[in-house]
Amino acid sequence: MKRFTGSRVLVTGAADGIGAASVTAFLGEGARVLAVDINPPRGDVPACHYEILDVTEANAPERLVASAGRELGGLDVLVNNAGICEVSPLASTDDDTWDRVMDVNLRAMFRLSRSALPLLRESGAGRVINIASISARFANDGMGAYSASKHAVAGLSKSLAAEWGQDGITCNYILPGAMIVS
């Protein structure tokens, strides 16, 4: 039997890179997947339900949770992968850039996790996987907003694990490094 047979998985930032690889991996292990991205998928679309949606929209969390309930019948695993990086020295980073990075990388993650909580509780063993970055540990020139957002993802993940663990929900964060996406 495959490791995720029957599991219901929601992946954000699914058009390419880590998100697309996550979708492919979960499908390969028998999961049913709802894939979400602001962009259409690049290349062949795997056998999953795919939604084009900006995760920062006001009603995005509720829409995605409703879609997970409707399309998957619930939710067992939430992979918060949507993220952006704006390269700009902190001294010249304007408020709009800072806010956009925080909205996509942190606020959308928090809002979707919070909205998904009832379905994750119902699953009996919900899992939240937050994609942070090695930039959560090491800062790089010109990536202050990105690095700060990824530090915050680590803190959010630890808080979710502490608070939701009593309900049998785990939360982990991953710190990938630089990668080449074709």
Q: Is residue 181 part of a domain?
A: no
**pLDDT given at position 41:** 87
Q: Is residue 179 part of a domain?
A: no
**49-52 sheet: strands from edge to edge:** 49-52, 32-37, 8-12, 77-80, 127-131, 170-174
Residue positions annotated with a catalytic role: 146
**pLDDT given at position 46:** 72
Tell me the C-alpha distance between 16 and 42, whole Å. 6
Q: Is residue 47 part of a domain?
A: yes
Task: Give the residue from 24, 57, 54 showing the smallest Cα distance to 42.
Answer: 24
Helix 60-67 / helix 108-123 crossing angle, nearest 10 deg: 30
Tell me the C-alpha distance between 133 and 153, whole Å. 9
Point out the residues of the chain with pLDDT beneath 50. none
**pLDDT given at position 116:** 99
Is residue 61 classed as helix, strand or coil in its secondary structure?
Answer: helix
User: Taking the model in full, what pTM does it have?
Assistant: 0.96
**pLDDT given at position 20:** 94
Q: Is residue 1 part of a domain?
A: no
Q: Is residue 95 part of a domain?
A: yes
Return the CATH number at 123: 3.40.50.720
Task: Give the residue from 149, 137, 37 showing the smallest Cα distance to 85.
Answer: 149
**pLDDT given at position 85:** 95
Which residues, in sequence order, are CB contacts of 77 under 8 Å at separation 6+? 4, 7, 8, 9, 10, 26, 31, 126, 127, 128, 129
pLDDT tens-digit readout, 7-56: 999 999 999 999 999 999 999 999 999 999 999 988 776 789 999 999 99
**pLDDT given at position 42:** 83
**pLDDT given at position 12:** 99
Range of the domain at 79: 8-174
Q: Is residue 52 part of a domain?
A: yes
**pLDDT given at position 182:** 61
Tell me the C-alpha distance between 108 and 58, whole Å. 9
Domain count, the chain: 1
**pLDDT given at position 181:** 65
